[in-house]
Structure 1
Amino acid sequence: MPVAYGVHEIFYAHNRTEYHIFSDLNKKAPFTKDSDLTFVLVTDAPFYNEIADPEKYRTWGIEVSYGVYIKPFKVTHVDGGIKVAYKAIAPFYIEDKYTHFGALTPDIKNYISVPTPIMVFGYTDYDNVMFKTNSIYRISEDEAMQAVDLFETFGQMDDAFSSSELPSELNSIPHNTFQTDRNTNKGYTISYIKKLIKDSGDQSVPGSKEYKRTLFASIFNFISSDFIKLRGIWSCLTPIYFVPVDQIVLELLSRITEEVNSENDIKTRMNKRLGNQQKEFVLREKMRAIQDMLSELQVPLEEDDYARALKDPVLSQRYPESIKTLIKDETKRASEMMQASPEASIARTYISLLKKLPWRVTEREFLDINRAQETLDKHHYGLEKIKERILEYLAVLINLQKIKDKQTTKIAIPGKPSKEIDLSLFKEDDDSKKTYNNVPILTLIGPPGTGKTSLAKSIAEALGREFIKVSLGGVHDEAEIRGHRRTYVGAMPGKIIKAMNKVGVSNPVILLDEIDKMASDMKGDPASAMLEVLDPEQNANFQDHYLEHEYDLSKCVFIATANYIEGIPHALLDRVELIELQSYTLSEKVHIARNHLIAKVLEQTGLDDKKFSISDETLKYIIKHYTQEAGVRGLKRILDQLARKIILKSMKNKKLKSFEIKIDELTELLGVIKYKEDTPEEILDAGVVNGLAYTPYGGSTLQIEVTTYPGKGELKLTGSLKEVMQESAQIAITYVRANAEKFGIKDFDFETNTIHIHVPEGAVPKDGPSAGVTFTTAIISALSNRPVLGEYGMTGEITLTGKVLPIGGLAEKSFAAVQKQLKTIFIPHENIRNLKDVSDEVKSELVYVPVKKYEDIYNVIFLGKKPEEKITFKLEK
């Protein structure tokens, strides 16, 4: 509708009847009431000329009148008439105004009409206006009910068109153009009209005319007020005279949807233009707000050592810049995690490790070779050649360190006089990274209990460095060296980084214990991982999978230990320098017990030397009959056992003030003897020969036995012999058969006799080629029935042509020969150079007969010839 509000002045005509009606002021009272009445304003001309072509509304020459339903708000008495302020509700047309007013006779209640020169004005009630059937323009009652049903459904809907989604003009009070009462003229919003419909339904009985009247009047009030400003509203309402009401309602709802979609489209375009910039700003602000809230929720942590160190200009230099950045990044990442999550726990553990590792912290060293000499002598008896080699190693290390100290900046740590910060560690420039420590890695090889670990500790003490032991025995997973990646559950750093974290400095002496007992399997090769640790060109940039950062091991002193050289991987042998420790002799063991072991036992048990008195003879007896080892570890256990027995005796007998351990009391204290002292046989049985062997636990003697019996010409081997030793026996039998005539056994029938070779202690696995000459001698002895003297022992690998090849472990085998009370031992000629490694005490008790071919052994043993060469030594006092 083009006119929502209007003012019409109705002037009185000179007709008395008309004047009489309006002169009665009581008659205008209905105009001032806010009732349910609907008024009609009728004119016989196009209403405000809004219909451009009124002729098309004429039908069969009948005059057409136009009208509008109105709601009056204010009636004012003026000279010659009244002035009515109204609110338009809906337009209509009638074919015959007289027909219309004929239906509205003066007899009907609430009726009044005033003819004027240009229009007719009147009002009526809802029933007569909406349901009068004799007016062509009227809609049917069914159509009216359909409209009511539609809007009743609209009122029950959820806010399909909420006020916030509609253009602002639809929810504002329309502009007050004419004289109106602001209190009465209120704009109807969608939310309000829905409430009005609901309230009307609550107050009336659904289906009643009162209910429908109220609902319909509310709807049209809504239409005439709130949608008056919609674009094209006149074009929407113009055909109201020719279509059902429900279609008009649907058209209006369609226009509402169109306006809403148009508004949404505008918002979408606008948001798209603002786009990423506004979105980014909003997200950043939201993230900042979330971070602020999280920081408020988190419990503030106490300042740790790392935070305090960063504030100190000296202590902050212990951390390389790359580590400071890494800790900062990881701390930020951890703060964004839920604190109770497993990922947060892993992150905190990782950050804690980064903070605790020593990085550039080092121990102040003692660069004094004399002090090193004193330390080694204090803790170790004998081992003169070993000590000399270690001192050479330390001399090079000290010399290099003195030169580097002149080129390196070291900063003392306040409050820790023995610690300092070495700025040459974790070098940042590429030129510095090319320099490396060229000191070789020491590897101490020897039987258990010979002092390998204690020697490493003495080296650490001599240098004034921290000492830590890394056990590698049984390690078969590369991750135990390099660490596990942090993606795995329960991931940990490797043994090397753990050791650095535990020791607290970056220049310790690290003992790699039992490096020969690492094993390879499907999980990787730990020996290959050790290459990076031990290679001086690589260990400045050691990579641990858990740490995910290079760690500088160039300042560490690595000392490895092994029991058996054959067990060390060849790649590692290339990078280490071997130092062999021999078995201790009887006199050395007595001296070690007297000066080191007994003192330690007394300290650990609280005894004094009066209650633990023991002679050298008793010590020798204990060593011979209760221990049988290369080192002194078993001897230490025996001495501990004696101390416990004495303490128990002293507690039972309070008067016991002193106690001397005597040989005849050892059976009571230690039980029966475990090892009977061997008394060598002058002549062994035919087929029995003393052989010499070397094991990871030291040297030993083996009596190889050979016998024959009628059979099918087979060779039978027993005694847990491994593949190499079995092949050695087969080579020996082949060599003997090939030279049967030379060895005086040409009459022996190899095809009808079985040869059985046995090596005693069958439960102990045996391997190696060094028993070749012993097998050969035993076979000849058995086949020719010629016994061998019991004072002979031998070792050496034999070939098919009878050559005797060199062997290993000569020092240990010599020691075993002395224990067995052998007098003469045959050795390969090429092993003469190894005699310098045998202790003088052992060599003085043996005669060495070097041989190049087996015939040299045969001539001495079976033919009684003198050896072409023999070597003896005298012990210097």
Structure 2
Amino acid sequence: MSTKDNKNIGFNTLDKYVIPFKDIRAFFTGGYASVAISEKKYIKFLKDYVSTLSFTENTRFALMHKNAKTKWELLVDYPVYYVKPVAFEKVGDHYALTFKVLSTGFLIDVFSKETYKNTEEDEREKRFIDWQLKDNNIIPSRINVFNVAENNSLENRADIISFMEIFKQAIGAVERDLVANSEDMLIFERYLNSDLSITFKELESLIHRFQPAIPGENKEILYNHTLMCTILNMLKQPLYELLLQGEEYYVPSPILFEKLSAELLNFITSIMETETQIKDEISKKMNEQQKEFILREKIKTIQNSLEKMNVPVKEDDYAKQIKNKTLVNIYPDSIRQLIKDESKRISEMMQSSPEATLAKNYIDILKKLPWRIVESEEVSIQKVKETLDENHYGLDKVKERIFEYLAVIINQKNNAKKDEDDNLIPLDEDKFIDMNLFKENDRARAKKFNNVPILTLVGPPGTGKTSLSKSIAEALGRSFVKVSLGGVHDESEIRGHRRTYVGAMPGKIIKGIMQAKVSNPIILLDEIDKMKSDMKGDPASAMLEVLDPEQNSHFQDHYLEHEYDLSKAIFIATANYYEAIPEALLDRVEVIELSSYTLSEKLNIAREHLIPKVIEQTGLAKSFFKIDDETLKYIIHHYTKEAGVRGLKRLLDKIARKIVVKKLENKNMKSFTIKKEEITDLLGVILFKEEEKEDIQIPGIVNGLAYTSYGGSSLQIEVNAFPGKPEIKLTGSLKEVMQESAQIALSYVRSNAEKFGIQDFDFEENTIHIHVPEGAVPKDGPSAGVTFTTALISALSKKVVPSNIGMTGEITLRGKVLEIGGLKEKSFAASQKGLKYIFIPAANVKNLQDIPNEIKSELNYIPVVEYTEIYDFIFKGKQPKEIISFKEENK
């Protein structure tokens, strides 16, 4: 069969072929099947086709049943299978054609001499027929009929035959009666001796329900359409037309059918078990809900009956309060209505539902809040003074400012007492119901209280900020609540979470009010300088509403969804570092700075407060904790390095514990004296060596002074110059501002090299290295400018700076010395270092009055406006314009 012959007879237009086969079979669409080809002419055609063209993805054949008793020329309207051939090979003595069934059940008109018409199309096909008749090869078909088959093939259809249709046909192949009675037949009881009672109708409903969740590429027979149809194609099923005619047909394989049924049984059994489990759980929940409903209805009926009989019914505190003519005033009208509405809504819910739980928690919080409950404030100015002096030693200026602050509060309270007393309803001995709070009419709200500024205590750790706040609460007779803000970075921590979120709760302010159980407590906002802002919001902005007296009477908490009046609460804030307080808050607070304690203050605090507290906490008698001042000084100098006394308290606790152990081991011990020589046995090795007052005779080393949030410290700045690249090296963990200060100092020195006598130094041929010791400690700030400048001049001129001189001050490119901060703390450090002279900016002279006399009496302050004044004193020996000394004053 040549290509030329094919072209002449229209072979290219007729690319579909009908292959007759004798086997009485029925095929399922989508599956693979094989038929035996026995006639030589068809074997020859298929061999030629495979060898010439081969089977491709686009090759399509038609397979048609052929009755052996009938000539093919006389066959018309026979069912045809539209297939994709896969292989043609010899199996034993026969040849087998393997294919995938794409479409089935359509009819095809086969040419015969009787159906021939004299048309151009038929003429062309007639030539093709003649060619086939001549060679006795294959049966042609009309092209348009194959187009219909193509459009209805499996690849172009969305309605793939369902499993139930396949299964019904498989059952029908075994027993014909099942086809008619499929909806009622208990198939598993009959064929597999199973106790699973399920009809076809129930089976079809289950499969339809679970079919969307079945994966398409599952290897299980039930879920793989191609595999299912392939297995069914292996069963010898009757041709439907022959079945109706009563012809003989083959019985399908019972093994394959039983396997199919067993797979289906396992599937249905698992579904039924799941269905049963779900039904049991639903039934259990329904029974519980019905039981709860019935019990609640019984409770209501019993309560109604008891009320009619005038028998008292147990009620919660809120129910009792709203029935009391006095206690009902605790809750504003809007809150009572809100509780009523929420309670009604809960009664209509399933009590076990998450929404009901959230609503119950919400109502509990509304009931617990002290809406109009306030504490009495019978306080005198004398009591305030006595309380502050009793609880704190020193801090005279701080206590003076707090005393003024409290005096204003007491005075305003006394002025408004007459008007407010009319709106106060006694609740118990020390509490009242204040009707000035939560007035429904905004114009009627009282505005004569809490207009004093909010205090912010700023100072190093351990200097008494929290204890001062507690003393204020004690002096005023109010409850004290501490709200820690360190590390807070979410606005919801202040304003609360909205109730739409799982685990929602009120903010820290409302929680503090609940803890105090009154609406006028002292609320300590601890560490407001440690709040951070990020993508969750800025908590500092949320604090603005809390700290503003004009707004906090309408404070909105997201959880409450109702305003809360904070106007009678007193807020006190604390911070370690002034510069870290958010600027928006600084405008609403008044800052009181607490500086480091002096040595004498620490001794007195230890004597009057720390040691008595340690003795009480450990249960020791006073005779077992005897210690003199020299020993205390030794502990302070060698085991602590702090601005406050928190570390000293821990050391005294440790000593007390050691004494307790000794006392229990030696029952004859009557007393114990803590001696200086025994400190190492009690506290271990010395942590801080006392700084030696060494006389350093090395150029380039100058004493500087620093101020941190933990107090003041001294540091030596070192400068060295050596031949190398023209650059400056900065080491010692210096941050940006301090690095800039060093750069400014170098620029100032270079521009005035002749004035400072270093004009012969070649900056272009030398490297300058500036180092600040203790490199592990980050350092920043501009106040080391004059120290950098002096160290540079000393190193480059090879002149030594006396070791008893220290200095602090910011320098400009013109040599101006600018004001700095922390002079008091720096003076403490200079005193401890044993310095004699301190150069300070002239603008800081006003700060000398804040320094304790015992500290400043040991120092001589030299105020300067320009750096040349420092240069003239150190390197030229000229007397300064002014030296401020407090030695006589101390005497």
Distance 1:609 1:865, change over 3 A: same
Name the SS of the counterpart of 1:486 in structure 2: coil
Deviations 1:93-138 (A, max 9, x none): xxxxxxxxxxxxxxxxxxxxxxxxxxxxxxxxxxxxxxxxxxxxxx
* Contact persistence 2:714–2:830 (CA under 8 A): yes
Which secondary structure state, in structure 2, belongs to the residue aligned with residue 701 of structure 1? strand
Deviation per CA, 1:650-698: give whole Å up to 9, x if none. Answer: 1111111110000001111111211111122223521111111111111
Question: Could you tell me how far 1:363 is from its partner in structure 2?
Answer: 1.0
Q: Which amino acid aligns with 2:341?
A: D
Q: Where does residue 67 of structure 2 map in the other structure?
A: none
For 1:328, the equivalent position in structure 2 comes to 340
Contact 1:687–1:782 (CA<8 Å) still a contact in 2?
yes
Question: What is the alpha-carbon distance in structure 2 between the residues aligned to residue 805 and residue 399 of structure 1?
Answer: 42
The correspondence for 2:450, drawn from 423, 431, 437, is: 437
Specify the alignment match of 2:439 in structure 1: 427
CA distance in 2, matches of 1:546, 1:841: 54
- In the superposition, relative to structure 1, how do residues 700 and 308 fare at CA in structure 2: closer, same or farther (>3 Å)? same
Give the Cα separation in 1 of the matches to 2:844 and 2:669.
56
Report the equivalent of 2:836.
823
Structure 1 residues 339 and 291: alpha-carbon distance in aligned structure 2, compared to 1, 3 A threshold: closer
Residue type at the aligned position of 1:361: I
Give the residue type in structure 2 aligned to 1:727.
E
After the TM superposition, which residues 591-610 of structure 1 pair with which residues of structure 2 at under 5 Å, given as runs? 591-610=604-623
SS in 2 for 1:599: helix
Q: Is the 8 A contact 2:425 2:434 kept in 1?
A: no
Q: Offset of 1:292 from its aligned partner?
A: 8.7
Q: Map of 1:705-784 to 2, 5 A cutoff?
A: 705-784=718-797
Q: Kindly, what percent of the aligned residue pairs are identical?
A: 68
1:308 and 2:320 matched = yes
Deviations 1:505-542 (A, max 9, x none): 11111111111111111111111111111111111111
Instruction: Please say if residues 490 and 539 of structure 2, whose CA atoms lie closer than 8 Å, have aligned partners that are also in contact.
Output: yes
1:456 corresponds in structure 2 to 469
- Deviation of 1:785 (Å): 1.2
Aligned to 1:629: 642
Structure 1: how far apart are the matches of 2:597 and 2:788? 29
Q: Counterpart of 1:789 in structure 2: which amino acid?
A: P
Indicate the residue corresponding to 1:546 in structure 2. Answer: 559
Measure, in 2, the Cα distance between the counterparts of 1:666 and 1:291. Answer: 70
**Conserved in 2, the CA contact under 8 Å of 1:410 and 1:420?**
no
Name 1:666's counterpart in structure 2.
Answer: 679
**Separation in 1, partners of 2:291, 2:357:** 21
Per-residue displacement from partner, 1:365-403 (whole Å, max 9, x unpaired)?
133110000000000011111111111000101111112
Q: Distance in 2 between matches of 1:843 and 1:539?
A: 44
Tell me the SS of whatever aligns to 1:699. Answer: strand
| Contact 2:450-2:570 at 8 Å conserved across structures | no
Shift of 1:428: 2.0
1:681 aligns with 2:700: no
Specify the SS of the correspondent of 2:770.
Answer: strand
**What are the within-5 Å matches in structure 2 for residues 789-868 of structure 1?**
789-868=802-881
Equivalent residue, structure 2, for 1:374: 386
SS of residue in 2 equivalent to 1:362: strand
Q: State the Cα distance separating 1:410 from its structure 2 match.
A: 4.4
Q: How does 1:464-483 map to 2 (within 5 A)?
A: 464-483=477-496
1:806 Cα offset (Å): 0.6
CA distance in 2, matches of 1:361, 1:473: 29
Q: 1:339 is paired with a residue of what secondary structure? A: coil
Note the C-alpha offset of 1:307.
1.1
Amino acid of the residue matched to residue 328 of structure 1? K
CA distance in 2, matches of 1:619, 1:770: 33
Q: 1:313 to 1:876 in 2, by over 3 A?
A: farther
User: What is the CA deviation profile of residues 151-208 of structure 1, one whole-angstrom value per residue up to 9, with x for unaligned ones?
Assistant: xxxxxxxxxxxxxxxxxxxxxxxxxxxxxxxxxxxxxxxxxxxxxxxxxxxxxxxxxx
The match for 2:631 is 618
- Give the distance between the partners of 1:297 and 1:635, measured in 2 at CA: 66
Deviation at residue 290 of structure 1 after TM alignment: 14
Q: How does 1:686-701 map to 2 (within 5 A)?
A: 686-701=699-714
What are the equivalent positions in structure 2 for 1:147-296 lying under 5 Å apart? 295-296=296-297
SS at match of 2:384: helix
* Equivalence for 2:256: none
How far apart, in 2, do the equivalents of 1:767 and 1:687 lie?
21
1:538 & 1:698 partners in 2: Cα distance?
36
| Cα separation, 2, equivalents of 1:432 and 1:703 | 64
The two structures have a TM-score, normalised by structure 2, of 0.65
CA distance in 2: counterparts of 1:356 and 1:440, whole angstroms: 29
One-letter amino acid matched to 2:863: P
1:383 is aligned, of 386, 395, 404, to 395
- Note if contact 2:485-2:530 (Cα within 8 Å) is conserved in structure 1: yes
Residue 579 of structure 2 is aligned with which of 553, 562, 566? 566
Q: SS at 1:751's partner residue? A: helix
TM-score if structure 1 supplies the norm length?
Answer: 0.66
Structure 1 residue aligned with 2:522: 509
Where 1:814 maps in the other structure, the secondary structure is: helix
CA distance in 1, matches of 2:571, 2:799: 54
- Displacement of 1:346 in angstroms is 0.8
Which amino acid counterpart does residue 403 of structure 2 have in structure 1?
Answer: L
Match of 2:377 in 1: 365
Displacement, 1:834? Answer: 1.2
Report the CA distance shift for 1:639/1:410 in structure 2 as closer, same or farther (over 3 A): farther
d(CA) in 1 for partners of 2:643, 2:478 = 30
Cα deviation 1:479-502 (Å, max 9, x = unaligned): 111111111111111110000011
Rounded to whole Å, the distance in 2 between the matches of 1:497 and 1:294 is 36
2:664 maps to 1:651: yes
1-side partners of 2:699 and 2:817: how far apart? 23
1:533 to 541, 546, 570: 546
Q: Say which SS state the counterpart of residue 700 (structure 1) adopts.
A: strand
Name the CA distance, whole Å, in 2 between partners of 1:427 and 1:780: 71
Other structure's SS at 1:826 match: strand
User: C-alpha root-mean-square deviation of aligned residues, in Å?
Assistant: 1.8
What SS does the aligned partner of 2:461 have? Answer: coil
1:343 CA displacement: 0.9
Secondary structure of the structure 1 residue equivalent to 2:882 = coil
Aligned to 2:68: none
SS at match of 1:417: coil
Within 2, Cα distance between the matches of 1:594 and 1:689?
Answer: 38
The alpha carbon displacement at 1:298 in A equals 7.1
Whole-Å separation in 2 of the counterparts to 1:378 and 1:788: 47
**Deviation at 1:297?**
6.7
* Higher gyration radius (CA): 1
Q: Distance in 2 between matches of 1:422 and 1:324?
A: 17
Q: Does 1:351 align with 2:380?
A: no
CA pair 684-484 structure 1, distance change in 2 beyond 3 A: farther
Provide the residue aligned with 2:85 in structure 1.
Answer: none
Q: Gapped runs of 5+ residues in structure 1?
A: 1-288
Which of these residues, 481, 503, 506, is aligned with residue 493 of structure 1? Answer: 506
What residue in structure 2 maps to residue 586 of structure 1?
599
8 A contact 2:705–2:784 mirrored in 1: yes
8 Å CA contact 2:857, 2:890 repeated in 1: no
CA distance in 2, matches of 1:720, 1:657: 53
> Are 1:701 and 1:816, in contact at CA under 8 Å, matched by a contact in 2?
yes
Report the 3-state secondary structure (helix = DSSP H, G, I; strand = E; otherwise coil) of the residue aligned with 1:850.
strand
Paired residues of 1:314 and 1:411 also in contact (CA < 8 A): no
In 2, are the aligned partners of 1:315 and 1:413 still within 8 Å (CA)? no
1:317 to 319, 326, 329: 329
